[in-house]
């Protein structure tokens, strides 16, 4: 099987020079590509931030095209699309043709190339990986539609969907959206993979206050601010909140740490083994994503890391997460302002031994089911069955 992938994955040499790029998205794509290429010849094109300096060897890789713009993401779209089209035509002239083209989410370059491929090689199966934007499935006003038309290579979701043979997405709501258009759909949340996370795990304290852990983005869409507000709203809450990671909001976090002894920030871990060592010191791990921001349509990959670590999970309830874990996760309704504070109060009343057992049960029940091997095997079978 030959496959061509268009996404945002960076080569290891580039990540080594820019460690801040090694976030959840980079890890997710690394695992996806590693597993999808196990029995396929895979060629890759990646959209790279123009601020990252590319080495000559990275530019010259014949099987991994790195697309960089010079004038911002909208103005870079057309020249990058032209470069991508030229590269693909060159591959075809040399006799290489993919059976599948997989594009990671909707973006201008991917949309333009998909439309080109539909005419140039109509028999190549075009697969959209994810469909989870914040405007997905919503009625767009005439003004917003006009703004899209004025942007280079921008098309709305319903205009682009007919160009795909199938959609693989974590968003359950996208199934109905695709079914109405007779487009094959497959539920694909990604998978769980340790990747060094378990190399230095430790046992959490057997007594003292319960430790709640969070790692990931500090942006508003990830819900860290809501979590900090919930702690501030209950000064008598007998919990410790330990936070890893960094971002544009880290300055606000440092102020919170300075004013509340129950909150600690441990910084950013470059190595997965160090992240796992810290996270395993916690009794419970939390996914505090708020309502809105398109969060109902996505599946935060950190939850699979929580699963691998064998810790119970406190999470805002979303259709995708509940579909995956049923009643095995401690849920709260992010639409209710007090729900997170109430959930934390319930956690503070639990025994440490019960929390550790709940985490072990969660891992035993779901880790193999959501392994990358299982998830990619199912995805490949579905892709091959698409007419």
pLDDT digits (tens, 9 = 90+) for 270-308: 889 999 999 999 999 999 998 776 666 778 889 999 999
CATH number of 2-191+371-385: 3.40.50.2000
Evaluate if residue 248 carries a pLDDT over 70. Answer: no
Evaluate if residue 317 carries a pLDDT over 80. Answer: yes
**Segment among 48-57, 72-81, 89-98, 236-245 with least mean pLDDT:** 72-81
**SS percent in the chain: helix, strand, coil, step 5:** 45, 15, 40
Evaluate if residue 140 carries a pLDDT over 70. Answer: no
pLDDT reported for residue 191: 92
pLDDT reported for residue 139: 64
Please give the Cα distance from 254 to 243 (Å, whole number): 11
Q: Could you tell me which residues come within 8 angstroms of residue 40 by beta carbon, excluding any fewer than 6 positions away? A: 1, 2, 3
207-233 mean pLDDT: 91
Evaluate if residue 267 carries a pLDDT over 60. Answer: yes
Q: 133 falls in which pLDDT band (50, 70, 90)?
A: low
Torsion angle of alpha carbons 80, 86, 91, 93, nearest 10°?
170
pLDDT reported for residue 294: 63
Kindly state the percentage of the chain with pLDDT values over 90: 61
pLDDT reported for residue 71: 47
pLDDT reported for residue 176: 86
CA atoms within 13 A on the CB side of 111: 20
DSSP SS3 for 371: strand
Buried b (16+ CB within 10 A) or exposed e, 64-79: bbbbbbeeeeeebbeb
Place of tokens 């539609």: 145
Among 381, 383, 375, 3, smallest CA distance to 190 is for 375
How far, rounded to the nearest angstrom, does the alpha carbon of residue 59 sit from its chain's CA centroid? 26
Q: How far apart are the first and last CA of the chain?
A: 16
193-214 mean pLDDT: 92
pLDDT reported for residue 23: 79
Please give the Cα distance from 96 to 90 (Å, whole number): 9
Helices 272-279 + 302-309 axis angle, to 10: 60
**Segment among 154-158, 168-172, 180-184 with least mean pLDDT:** 154-158
Q: Where does CATH 3.40.50.2000 sit in the chain? A: 2-191+371-385, 210-366
Among 56, 55, 60, 121, smallest CA distance to 88 is for 121
- Give the DSSP H or E segment for 92: helix 77-93
Neighbours of 208 (CB within 10 A): 11
Comparing 105 with 125, the larger pLDDT belongs to 125
Q: What is the pLDDT of residues 42-52, one digit of tens each?
A: 999 999 888 88
Place of tokens 């973006």: 107
Tokens of 59: 């530019």
353-372 mean pLDDT: 94
User: What does the longest C-alpha to C-alpha distance in the chain come to?
Assistant: 69
Kindly state the percentage of the chain with pLDDT values over 70: 91
Instruction: Please state which architecture CATH assigns to domain 210-366.
Output: 3-Layer(aba) Sandwich (3.40)
Q: Could you tell me which residues come within 8 angstroms of residue 71 by beta carbon, excluding any fewer than 6 positions away? A: none
Please give the Cα distance from 125 to 52 (Å, whole number): 32
Please give the Cα distance from 344 to 53 (Å, whole number): 44
Q: What is the pLDDT of residues 30-83, one digit of tens each?
A: 999 999 998 889 999 999 888 888 888 888 888 899 987 654 556 668 888 999
C-alpha dihedral sign at 45, 47, 51, 52? negative
Comparing 183 with 152, the larger pLDDT belongs to 183
């Amino acid at each position: 099987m030959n496959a061509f992938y268009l996404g945002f994955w960076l080569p290891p040499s580039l990540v080594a020079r820019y460690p801040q790029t090694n976030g959840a998205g980079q890890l997710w794509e690394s695992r996806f590509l590693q597993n999808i290429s196990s029995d396929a010849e895979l060629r890759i094109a990646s959209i790279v931030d123009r601020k990252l300096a590319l080495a000559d060897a990275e530019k010259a890789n014949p099987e991994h095209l790195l697309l960089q713009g010079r004038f911002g993401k909208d103005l870079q779209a057309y020249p990058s699309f032209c470069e991508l089209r030229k590269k693909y035509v060159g591959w075809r002239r040399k006799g290489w043709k993919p059976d599948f083209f997989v594009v990671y989410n909707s973006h201008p370059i991917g949309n333009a190339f998909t439309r080109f491929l539909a005419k140039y090689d109509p028999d190549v199966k075009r697969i959209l990986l994810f469909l989870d934007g914040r405007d997905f499935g919503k009625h767009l006003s005439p003004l917003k539609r006009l703004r899209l038309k004025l942007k280079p290579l921008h098309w709305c979701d319903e205009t682009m969907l007919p160009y795909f043979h199938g959609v693989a997405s974590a968003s359950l709501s996208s199934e109905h959206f695709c079914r109405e258009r007779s487009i094959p759909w497959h539920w694909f949340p990604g998978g769980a993979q340790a990747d060094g996370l378990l190399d230095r795990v430790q046992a959490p304290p057997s007594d003292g206050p319960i430790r709640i852990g969070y790692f990931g983005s500090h942006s508003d869409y990830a819900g860290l601010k809501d979590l900090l507000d919930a702690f501030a709203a209950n000064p008598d809450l007998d919990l410790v909140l330990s936070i890893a990671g960094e971002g544009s909001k880290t300055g606000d976090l440092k102020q919170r740490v300075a004013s509340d002894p129950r909150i600690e920030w441990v910084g950013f871990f470059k190595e997965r083994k160090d992240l796992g060592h810290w996270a395993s010191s916690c009794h419970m791990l939390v996914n505090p994503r708020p309502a809105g921001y398109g969060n109902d349509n996505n599946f935060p990959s950190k939850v699979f890391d929580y699963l691998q670590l064998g810790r119970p999970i406190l999470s805002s309830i979303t259709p995708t997460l509940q579909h995956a874990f049923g009643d095995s996760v401690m849920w709260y309704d992010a639409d209710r302002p007090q729900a997170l504070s109430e959930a934390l109060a319930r956690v503070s009343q639990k025994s440490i031994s019960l929390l550790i057992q709940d985490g072990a049960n969660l891992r035993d029940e779901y880790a193999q089911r959501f392994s990358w091997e299982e998830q990619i095997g199912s995805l490949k079978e579905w892709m091959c069955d698409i007419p």
